Amino acid sequence: MGFLLFIAGMGGLLYGIDVGIIAGALPYLESTASVAWRLSAQQLSFIVAAVLLGSVLSSLFAGALADWIGRRWAMVLSGVLFTLSIPLIALADGYLPLLLGRLLQGVSGGLIGVIVPLYLAECLHARQRGRGAALFQLLLTIGLVAAAVIGLMQANSVEAATAAAQHLAEVERTAAVFAAKDHAWRSIFWWCLTPGLVFTLGALLLAESPRWLAQRGRMEEARTALLRTRPADEAEAELHEIQQVLAPAASNPSAPRASDPLFSRRYLLPFLLACLILALNQATGINSVLAYVVNILNQAGLPGATANTADVALKVLNAAMTIVAVVLVDRKGRKFLLMLGTAGIVTALVAAGLLFRSVEGEQRDVRPMLQARIQSDNLSLRLDQATLQSFGASANGAPRQLTVAYSYGPFTNVQTRRSDDTALPLLNVSREDTVQPDSVIGVFFRKLHLNPFADPAEGANAPLRIERADIAAVPPASHGWWVALAMCLFVASFAVGPGVCVWLALSELMPTRIRSNGMSIALLVNQFVSTMIAATFLPTVGQYGYGTMFLGWAGATLLYFLTAAFLLPETKGKTLEEIEAHFARKG
């Protein structure tokens, strides 16, 4: 069983790498590929978005694929696709290989997100099923940390190469720095090859899911697979339960039929409950908090270097608390951990929301002054002493922070500047930086008339409009540390509860006959909610402030707590067939 858990955990590692690896590689890819291959900003955005598109597409057919070729071979296929994507990207000499490689990574991630939790649920004994899902989540968080560490290592190598080239002539120095950056982004992807190979080769050595084998009438093979992780008497008892669930309707009128559709009444309650939990898991705001934590802490009063250090610390804390969840999930149960985690998240979000409200209430509106500075639908200014005086702020007062939310038609953005920033960077508002080029996802969904994202054509000629412009004193560092403490509570609570339990809800609640396809749909719901929150984060905090955003997430998480308390059954120690029987009685 240890080998099974290790390989499944490697699947979680690949999933985390899929999500996090581009962050470290993109700055160097952008600065070299745009010169060497003359890639446009639109093509670079396609390269970044290809992973999300591939993940969404593969989530749609992952369940059907797992039913067709089996869970084991579907895992092997996902590993092969990930492994093939690495040399395709790292050896790329143009746009198409890069795009195809990133698309393969996304397809691999979507398959892993459905099939590995499905395989764990169907193979592990009820006593170890929670630990298996927790290990998957633990390795996922370690994958995120590993991606950040690999990016940091390459960033240090680029800085060292840049420093070493300072004595060279300009042409030689430019070439040396270019070579260092080109080597950096390729090396970041090469580092990912080893875990891909380990997962692929390890999946080949795994046994097939006993429930998949039983569904195809291969009972002896199912018995052999069960005996690999259970004593003989428990394997026989569980195989008997599986046979009863799969019994034909003639001998068991209450048994589900193979022709029963996904939305049959007997399946509706567990399916909807799983979809609700997957949606609420993202409605906590976890992905946006992890993505924007540096911005959040800067806005709260912490200086840039401290906020970046806190970002790394939060990701390490996420992994550490997932280890706690591994220990507790099969002892305390899913329901307990989910209620504990969501209660902690609500507390953290309410605290952060109130902390931001306490400083956002002191902001002064300077929107008319900025609107008057617009020239040719562009705006440029530095938050220097002259600008502060023109806004009516004291020249010798506390450091000030300017927050500007603006739009070109449906395209919105938010920028902040601080008067105590030694570089005093220019606040530049232009159409070119705001109206984003069309993306693969936008084109795909627009053809289906389902596109939730803005159309670049609508922002091409729209005038610049200042939606909000507020200036206020920079919050003290103590305020920033209180917000950082709230973020620590948020991440720790998520890791110990929803971070692990969401994979269990995804795999345990679905009845056997709909498990693979139902998991595909539920994970797609999860990804859709995550995408919509990410798309609305900056516009919301720009228009209404961080306090509103955090309190809104707290409301959604309170609903999550109530769902766990009153709708979710405790599945600790129960076989999948016992869980299915519980919902059958409810139906």
The pLDDT > 90 percentage for the chain reads 19
User: 254 or 496: which carries more pLDDT confidence?
Assistant: 496
Three-state secondary structure along 195-256?
HHHHHHHHHHCCCCCHHHHHHCCCHHHHHHHHHCCCCHHHHHHHHHHHHHHCCCCCCCCCCC
Q: Which DSSP string do the residues of 307-374 spell out, in sequence order?
A: HHHHHHHHHHHHHHHHHHHHHHHHHH-HHHHHHHHHHHHHHHHHHHHHHHHHHHTT-EE-HHHHHHT-
pTM above 0.85, yes or no: no
The token pair at 447 is 């053809």
> Span 533-549, mean pLDDT?
79
Q: What is the pLDDT of residues 364-402, one digit of tens each?
A: 888 888 888 888 888 988 888 888 888 877 656 678 888
| Alpha-carbon distance values, 5 to 132, 140, 322, 340, 563 (Å) | 6, 13, 15, 26, 29
| C-alpha to C-alpha distance for 134 and 356, rounded to whole angstroms | 33
Q: What is the pLDDT of residues 254-290, one digit of tens each?
A: 555 544 555 566 678 888 898 999 899 989 998 788 7
Q: Which DSSP string do the residues of 158-199 spell out, in sequence order?
A: HHHHHHHGGGS-HHHHHHHHHHHHHHHHHHHHHTTHHHHHHH
User: 2 or 248: which carries more pLDDT confidence?
Assistant: 2
Q: What is the pLDDT of residues 542-561, one digit of tens each?
A: 778 889 999 999 999 999 99
- At 250 the pLDDT is 39
- At 457 the pLDDT is 77
SS3 469: strand
- At 510 the pLDDT is 77
Region for 91 from its dihedrals, namely left if φ exceeds 0, alpha if ψ lies in -120 to 50, beta otherwise: alpha
Angle at 419 between CA 540 and CA 547, to 5 degrees: 25
Give exposure, 296-330, as e/b (b: 16+ Cβ within 10 Å).
Answer: bbbbbbbeeebbeebbeebbebbbebbbbbbebbb
CB-based contact 22:48 (threshold 8 Å): yes
**Chain-wide mean pLDDT for the chain?**
82
CA atoms within 13 A on the CB side of 85: 30
User: 36 or 235: which carries more pLDDT confidence?
Assistant: 235
The token pair at 137 is 């989540």
CB-based contact 278:505 (threshold 8 Å): yes
| Alpha-carbon distance values, 371 to 403, 451, 468 (Å) | 14, 31, 10
> Span 513-532, mean pLDDT?
79
The pLDDT > 70 percentage for the chain reads 87
Residues 6+ apart with CB under 8 A from 156: none
- At 86 the pLDDT is 93
> Span 212-237, mean pLDDT?
86
- At 483 the pLDDT is 94
User: 476 or 585: which carries more pLDDT confidence?
Assistant: 476
Phi, psi of 262 (to 5 degrees): -60, -35
CB-based contact 475:300 (threshold 8 Å): yes
Q: What is the pLDDT of residues 157-214, one digit of tens each?
A: 887 888 888 888 878 888 888 888 888 889 889 998 999 999 999 999 998 988 889 8
Cα 49 off chain centre by: 13
Q: Rank 71-85, 295-309, 454-468, 471-485 by mean pLDDT and report only the highest.
A: 71-85
- At 197 the pLDDT is 94
The model's confidence at residue 81, banded by pLDDT at 50, 70 and 90, is: very high
> Span 105-134, mean pLDDT?
83
| C-alpha to C-alpha distance for 358 and 12, rounded to whole angstroms | 40
Angle at 318 between CA 315 and CA 320, to 5 degrees: 110
Determine which of 215-224, 251-260, 407-416, 479-488 has the lowest per-residue pLDDT on average.
251-260
| C-alpha to C-alpha distance for 343 and 458, rounded to whole angstroms | 42
Beta bridge partners of residue 406, listed in sequence order: 413, 466
| C-alpha to C-alpha distance for 558 and 181, rounded to whole angstroms | 46
CB-based contact 66:118 (threshold 8 Å): yes
The token pair at 144 is 């995120």
- The answer, yes or no, to whether residue 343 has pLDDT greater than 90, is yes
- At 339 the pLDDT is 95
Q: Which amino acid is at 322?
A: T
Which is it for strands 411-418 and 400-408: parallel, antiparallel or unpaired? Answer: antiparallel
- At 249 the pLDDT is 42
| C-alpha to C-alpha distance for 527 and 55, rounded to whole angstroms | 9
| Alpha-carbon distance values, 434 to 59, 228, 408, 430, 446 (Å) | 31, 57, 7, 6, 20
Instruction: Please provide the distance, in angstroms rounded to a whole number, between the alpha carbons at the two ends of the chain.
Output: 35
Determine which of 23-37, 136-150, 494-508 has the lowest per-residue pLDDT on average.
23-37
